[in-house]
Amino acid sequence: MRRPDFNRRVAVTGLGVLSPIGNDIDTVWRNLVEGNSGLDRITRFDPSAYEAQVAGELKDFDPGEYMDFKAARRTDRNVVMGVGAAKQALADSGLEVTPDNRDDIGVIFGSGGGGPQLLMDNKGAWDRKGARSVSPFFIANMLVDTASGQIAIETGIRGPNMCVVTACSTGTHNIGEAAEGIRRGDFFAAVTGATESPLHEMVHIGFTNMRGMGMPRPGEPLQTVSRPFDKTRDGFVLGEGAGAMILEDLEHAKARGAKVYAEVVGYGSAADAWDLIQPVEKGDGVRRAMQMALDRHGVKPHEIDLINPHGTSTPLGDLREAQAIWAVFGDHTPNIAISATKSLTGHLMGAAGAFEGVATVLSVHNQCVPATLNYRDVDPEIELNVIHGRSQPMDIRYALSDNIGLGGHNGAVIFKRYEGD
């Protein structure tokens, strides 16, 4: 049993991703830097009956690349995506899972909603053919924790295995909890992140009826639908994807000669206790989460160089988040680069924080801030330093990624440039 030592440093040693802008790290980073949108007209179902017709879908996704074909067929799409991102991250890290270490590696991997596609497919089979047509495998393969369990099965990892579920902040909370597990000594490394595949027609209808979906600018391309912090923003766009990281005790990573992308140096979590949908006044919940992330490991507000925000492009959500940023960072706020990557991918729901965490780590590692797409009209109520037009090289030492989930769940993680000892 490893002894608690809250001074352990936590390194990011591997990354994996499946997203609307690419199915590997190199492609994703290139598209982030070049500003290539992954949004387009929905193809997973016919959206003609609905006003909102745009989404961020995976392209060229082959489940057989990541799992046995038969196993992939009977599980939900989000599970295969999570396994794929996790396997990418493990390969990238060079961390070998062996009989000697597999009990000391964790899987902390989430999903906001589990498998709606598998559920609805089995409901359809029942309606058409009766009860005997319902798969005996569907329950085990559609749960929110199925991806974390399947990752363990695929990799042989036998340490702590759990799925933190906090709606749209799921990815952030899984990364933060995995980092804290390493600091406590629960395990020396963890596969962490989140996955989500919400592009089912019923989910689309639900969000449409909630009046949360955005529309492209009149007369402009479909890709202008997601406009974080822009004065004309009018709602979010659904996306699907998965993001994974290998977090590792820094001393262990150094001993095996691993590359280090960045360090995790802060984590905070807080509730709105206000409303299931609307954010609390002045974004107080996410404010406290960001402040906790700073305070927990002694990072000063003026040290933050970059924020990858939740930035969904909803009128009230973006305003409340901006108010929270101003409340935490005060006069330093105009100096912080804002890179809102949902402008390229849409909202990956439970996987949003995982993908955006990966994007933030890549920004720190490559010392470059991807531009926010579709930002044109400044909202005088917000006035953040939204990087737009083109990506910018930048000296980034500390970067923060925050997310806000339905139900009033807020999370923030801080990454630091790795500078050795």
Global pTM? Answer: 0.96
Q: Is 412 helix (H, G, I), strand (E, B) or coil?
A: strand
Round to whole Å and give the CA distance between 415 and 303.
11
205-257 pLDDT per residue, tens? 999 998 889 988 888 999 999 999 999 999 999 999 999 999 999 999 999 99
Is residue 168 among the annotated active site residues? yes
Phi-psi category of 338—alpha, beta or left, where left has phi over 0 and alpha has psi -120 to 50?
Answer: beta
More confident residue, 121 or 36: 36
Is residue 332 among the annotated active site residues? no
Q: Are 141 and 54 in contact (CB under 8 A)?
A: no
Chain-centre distance for alpha carbon 239:
11
pLDDT higher than 80, residue 4: no
Those residues whose C-beta lies under 8 Å from the C-beta of residue 399, and which sit 6 or more positions away, are 304, 305, 306, 307, 308, 360, 363, 364, 414, 415, 416
Q: From the candidates 252, 297, 347, 365, which is the catalytic residue?
A: 347
According to the model, what pLDDT value does residue 268 have?
Answer: 98
Provide the terminal-to-terminal Cα distance of the chain, rounded to the nearest Å.
26
For residue 331, give both structure tokens. Answer: 């006069």
What domains can you pick out in the chain, each with its CATH number?
10-255 (3.40.47.10), 266-415 (3.40.47.10)
Is residue 310 among the annotated active site residues? yes
Chain-centre distance for alpha carbon 317:
17
Q: From the candidates 163, 168, 200, 365, which is the catalytic residue?
A: 168
159-200 pLDDT per residue, tens? 999 999 999 999 999 999 999 999 999 999 999 999 999 999
Q: From the candidates 200, 252, 310, 365, which is the catalytic residue?
A: 310
Rg of the chain's alpha carbons, rounded to an integer? 20
| Number of neighbours of residue 218 by Cβ within 10 angstroms | 7
pLDDT higher than 50, residue 1: no
Q: Is 222 exposed, middle or buried (0-12, 13-18, 19+ CB in 10 A)?
A: middle
pLDDT higher than 80, residue 303: yes
Strands 105-110 and 189-196: parallel
pLDDT higher than 90, residue 105: yes
Round to whole Å and give the CA distance between 106 and 181.
9
